[in-house]
Structure 1
Amino acid sequence: MQHFDYIFTGSGLSALMTIYEMVLSGKFKDKSILLIDENAKKVNDRTWCFWDEDNLFEEIVSKKWNQAIFANEKFNRVLELTPYQYKKINGLDFYELVFKKIAEHKNIHFLNQKVVDFTELGNHCIVKTEQESFTCNKIFNSIYNPKVVTTQTKFPLIHQHFVGWFIKSKEDVFTPNCATFMDFSVEQKGNTRFMYVLPTSENEALLEYTLFSKNLLPKEEYEAEIQKYIENLGITEYEVIEKEQGNIPMTCYPFWKHNTKNIINIGSAGGWTKASTGYTFKNAYKKSKALVEFLEKNISTSLDKTDFKRFHKKDKFWFYDLLLLDILSSKNELGSKIFSSMFKEGNSTVIFKFLDEETSFLEDLQVIWRCPKILFVKALFGRMFHL
């Protein structure tokens, strides 16, 4: 069997981000790296959005917004995002950027096959595809196994699930410089449901009908709600240019407990998704940088001392997210109330900084204090006996 230093099982966002950081580091040129995935990453299968003030991946940002709308059935607020901008990156642009970069390095290889199994055997690991097997020193796994979470009850699992249409309309109804971050004016139907709108011109936009809930819907229901929302905007004629569909797990389950000395779970498989919002891009960027720095520190000598069981962090933001998920798991219809309390009059810059996990404790309180206090106090007492 062919041997590699590192094998990545799956080539999702976090795997590609980690390899990209390895390349930028320049300290892994002597490491043989294999990336395995049944998906060749040749199509634009998704978009990622994030708020940013540091020109992150600026060369492939396809659209920026300086303002964002938050709304429910009672109020509509335009948020000034300065110093942030809300940014969108198309999946295919990111794939092409990373694969172009890694193609310049002969030590990195991509294999378009399906991984069926991997395991650790003493000081090395084995990865099996449908066609062949390989050995390696370390595995970076981003293949999400839902059973890890669904077979336990200690940590709730909420899905962020959505269907999106990118449309071109006859009427000019959109404001190109203003995204709709969350519009809870849509009927909640006992869940946390909102519309998310990313305009690229006065008559073009991506509209996504999104839920934070335990159960998915028939595709027809998402699309019926999108059609209703389009009609309410005053659009009479439009063309659907592209469609997308997704399901992002939102959970505070401690995935790191499944890491071993030589196998680490990354991406959704490692809990890298921001549990309270489902945002992945910025979190993957931060986690991948931290992981590569961890690797650099442990391979600084001729002896590789990397132990993946030591790479994890449980901080105050993990606990904040856990309390919110506890509430949404038992009372899913309260999502609109909670998010509206934050955004109605709160400082939008501090809120986005808080959601990026970059606030001080005093700044945390500015956000938390606006939330329904009784709900979170009850969740706190309930969780104190279940950690």
Structure 2
Amino acid sequence: MENPLGCCLLTGNIGRNLKKSNMEHFDYIIAGGGCAGRSLATRLLPFLKARNKRVLVVDKSTKKENDKTWCFWEDRTDIFEPVVQRKWNRLSFSGLSYDKELSIQPYFYKMIRSGDFYQYTNDLLTNSPQVSIKQGEVQNLYSEDKKAIVTIDGVLYSADYVFSSIPQAQEKDSQRYQYLLQHFNGWVIETTADTFDPSCATLMDFNTSQHAGTSFFYVLPLSPRRALIEYTLFSEEVLPTASYTAALEKYIREQINCDHYTILEKEQGVIPMSDHPIKREDGRIIYLGTAGGFTKGSTGYTFRFIQKHTSAIVEKLYRSGHPRVPPISSFRFPIYDGVLLHLLNSKRLSGVEIFTTMFKKNHPVKILKFLDNETSIFEELLIFNTLQKKEFAMALWKRTLKLMKADSL
């Protein structure tokens, strides 16, 4: 989800040979002012004030546009509750001969629009004397002795620690790992008559062609006449723009039963789905968001994992003065993600088969807890017992062989 600067960092000695005298120093530098960077900066505010620390937040854009939507579920309120535009405790799921309205209490499924998030965090950060915000391009960053160095538009800055959400350069290793893309295109539409139930959101509706890969719609009703309708696919390649448009038009016409509507907004995006390990730290550099591996490999969900990670960082700073935290999830969950991706890549099972079985045979609250990497081993075994055991066991075995074979080369 996070790609705040739209590029990867340059490597090598760029920036290392620049003049270091009179280099401005901050306690912390946050490289990338998207969801992950702003989440951390906002959570840091009380700590910065209490400990008289300074942070520099840098991004090459001003981040004002309403260009994406973040959805997540939680059973409590967190610091970004003021910008939750809508929330639902009822969800609908439609799969293979299975249509169900789900009660997810005590969870709420929540929606945040990026424009609201940027405005809210802008107000908080710009009013803090401990925060400096700079518009510029991060060209390089590296650790040196007991500090980190960042090159911004040719100028060097130093910090005790740098938190970066800028994607790391990483070569694909298809002999070991799986790679898919979650790509989506969505419209906010307004209808001429009452069409939507604002009390219930559609989590997954598989009533669309599965030819291009695992494909589904979700619908977030904003009012009886307004909703965000998103077309989402898991596949190796993105589609031509016309294909998304055709699918959205068909779904609105046939599933929403609506012929008269106005498109108010559009959004699109691509989220990597992979079990390729990602380096979380590099000396005094701590990676955030997708750059740090906090996009769940099997679903693409990122927002809640960002909040867990950034919250843990601030808590560790209070306790010990440094931001290095242990993994926020058990090692088991990347294995589960890898097995699911292997199944989807091999096409032994389709996404609609997997998710229909999962939601049909398990309580939705337990599934949401599992997808948040918060279940116990016992709870996971109960879930696995309801799934296609032969196919999942085969996928686990083949993925393990694939890793062993690649390691022996």
TM-score (structure 2 length as normaliser):
0.87
SS of the equivalent of 1:105 reads coil
> Does the alignment pair 1:107 with 2:135?
no
> Does the alignment pair 1:139 with 2:155?
no
In structure 1, the residue matched to 2:69 is 47
In structure 1, the residue matched to 2:366 is 350
In structure 2, the residue matched to 1:318 is 334
- Gaps of at least 5 residues in structure 2 are 1-22, 405-409
Report the alpha carbon displacement of residue 313 of structure 1 after superposing the two structures with TM: 5.6
State how many pairs are aligned: 379
Is the Cα–Cα contact under 8 Å of residues 170 and 235 in structure 1 kept in the other structure?
A: no
Matched residue type, 1:266: L
Distance (whole Å) between structure 1 residues aligned to residue 363 and residue 329 of structure 2: 28
In structure 1, the residue matched to 2:195 is 173
| Compared CA separation, residues 268 and 126, structure 1 to 2 (3 A) | same
SS of the equivalent of 1:274 reads coil
Is the Cα–Cα contact under 8 Å of residues 98 and 356 in structure 2 kept in the other structure?
A: no
Distance (whole Å) between structure 2 residues aligned to residue 291 and residue 112 of structure 1: 24
Report the alpha carbon displacement of residue 41 of structure 1 after superposing the two structures with TM: 1.3
| Compared CA separation, residues 216 and 267, structure 1 to 2 (3 A) | same
Matched residue type, 1:286: K
Which of 370, 374, 378 pairs up with 1:362?
Answer: 378
In structure 1, the residue matched to 2:247 is 225
Is the Cα–Cα contact under 8 Å of residues 181 and 236 in structure 2 kept in the other structure?
A: yes
> Does the alignment pair 1:375 with 2:398?
no
Q: Deviations 1:122-158 (Å, cap 9, x if unpaired)?
A: 332221123522122211110114x415356422222
In structure 1, the residue matched to 2:186 is 164
| RMSD over aligned Cα atoms | 2.1
In structure 1, the residue matched to 2:236 is 214
Q: Deviations 1:2-61 (Å, cap 9, x if unpaired)?
A: 122211111121111112221134576422211110121112121111112202332221
In structure 1, the residue matched to 2:121 is 98
Report the alpha carbon displacement of residue 168 of structure 1 after superposing the two structures with TM: 0.3
Q: Deviations 1:267-304 (Å, cap 9, x if unpaired)?
A: 100011122211111111111111222333331xxxxx
**What fraction of aligned residue pairs are identical, expressed as a percent?**
37
In structure 1, the residue matched to 2:296 is 274
Distance (whole Å) between structure 2 residues aligned to residue 273 and residue 282 of structure 1: 9
> Does the alignment pair 1:10 with 2:37?
no
Is the Cα–Cα contact under 8 Å of residues 180 and 234 in structure 2 kept in the other structure?
A: yes
> Does the alignment pair 1:202 with 2:224?
yes
SS of the equivalent of 1:187 reads coil
Is the Cα–Cα contact under 8 Å of residues 348 and 391 in structure 2 kept in the other structure?
A: no
In structure 2, the residue matched to 1:330 is 346
SS of the equivalent of 1:16 reads helix
In structure 2, the residue matched to 1:33 is 55
TM-score (structure 1 length as normaliser):
0.91
Distance (whole Å) between structure 1 residues aligned to residue 216 and residue 326 of structure 2: 38
- Gaps of at least 5 residues in structure 1 are 300-305
Which of 99, 124, 127 pairs up with 2:147?
Answer: 124
Q: Deviations 1:226-258 (Å, cap 9, x if unpaired)?
A: 01111112211110000001111122322136x
Report the alpha carbon displacement of residue 338 of structure 1 after superposing the two structures with TM: 0.6
Distance (whole Å) between structure 2 residues aligned to residue 235 and residue 181 of structure 1: 20
SS of the equivalent of 1:180 reads strand
Matched residue type, 2:343: I
Distance (whole Å) between structure 2 residues aligned to residue 333 and residue 33 of structure 1: 48
In structure 2, the residue matched to 1:250 is 273
Matched residue type, 1:171: A
Distance (whole Å) between structure 2 residues aligned to residue 334 and residue 24 of structure 1: 47
Matched residue type, 1:230: I
Matched residue type, 2:136: Q
Is the Cα–Cα contact under 8 Å of residues 183 and 195 in structure 1 kept in the other structure?
A: yes
Distance (whole Å) between structure 2 residues aligned to residue 81 and residue 376 of structure 1: 26
Distance (whole Å) between structure 2 residues aligned to residue 217 and residue 243 of structure 1: 16
Is the Cα–Cα contact under 8 Å of residues 142 and 148 in structure 2 kept in the other structure?
A: yes
Is the Cα–Cα contact under 8 Å of residues 192 and 332 in structure 1 kept in the other structure?
A: no
In structure 1, the residue matched to 2:106 is 83
Matched residue type, 1:93: D
In structure 2, the residue matched to 1:302 is none
Q: Which moved more, 1:190-199 or 1:24-33?
A: 24-33
In structure 1, the residue matched to 2:311 is 289
In structure 1, the residue matched to 2:17 is none
Is the Cα–Cα contact under 8 Å of residues 49 and 89 in structure 1 kept in the other structure?
A: yes
Is the Cα–Cα contact under 8 Å of residues 261 and 309 in structure 1 kept in the other structure?
A: no
Distance (whole Å) between structure 2 residues aligned to residue 19 and residue 11 of structure 1: 9
